[in-house]
Homo-oligomer: A and B are copies of this chain.
Amino acid sequence: MDTETARERLLDAAATLFNERGVQAVGMDAIRGASGVSLKRAYQLFPSKTDLVEAVLQRRDLEVRSDIAALTATRESPAERVLALFDHLHHWFGQPDFRGCVFINSFGEMGGTSAGVADIARAHKEAVRNRLGELVAEAGGSSVLAAQIAMLADGAMVSAAMTGSAEPARQAKEAARVLLRSGAPGG
């Protein structure tokens, strides 16, 4: 197995297990079992579990941002581009393994003890909020409106994770539509 493959398998296995059980409840041995990569190799690629955790979060950050880029590329009006994010959330919430946002979850679990995790989670939410700010601005809305819509999205993730339903995405989308209409004259 080549280095890049081992790396990917470790990140995939760790991401899946962290999503299911949280970070601290997952041992390196479980990651070895799920990935098929030996502990020796794993520690060559990621010198500590902390490095692996942070790499999982960094990779997920890139994935989410690229999903947003792909999504918004296909819509015509600025407001539609913003609202399309909630369609994406709806699809995500419907996945059988959906258990919430890994940044919200790991910040809640380790934000108080791990500055690295806290920083990555904070930076991710900020990056998403900034991108949303651009989209909202194109629709004629302010950065406060973008922050409000971001809160709707985060709240929908929490609610969907807890209830096991995808419905919060639809409700949040309608709320975002109202806010856009009210706060973004051009939308």
Interface positions of A from 173 to 187, Cβ below 8 Å from B: 174-175, 178-179, 182-183
Interface string of A10-24 (1 = CB under 8 A from B): 000000000111101
Residues of A within 8 A of B (CB): 19-22, 24-25, 99-100, 104-113, 118, 121-122, 125-126, 144, 147-148, 150-156, 158-159, 161-163, 168, 171-172, 174-175, 178-179, 182-183
B171 touches A104 (CB 8 A): no
A147 touches B162 (CB 8 A): no
Number of identical protomers? 2
> A178 contacts which chain B residues (CB < 8 A)?
178-179, 182-183
Chain B proximity of A174: nearest CB distance (Å): 7
Q: Which of B100, B122, B126, B175 contacts A179 (CB 8 A)?
A: B175
> A152 contacts which chain B residues (CB < 8 A)?
148, 151-152, 155, 175
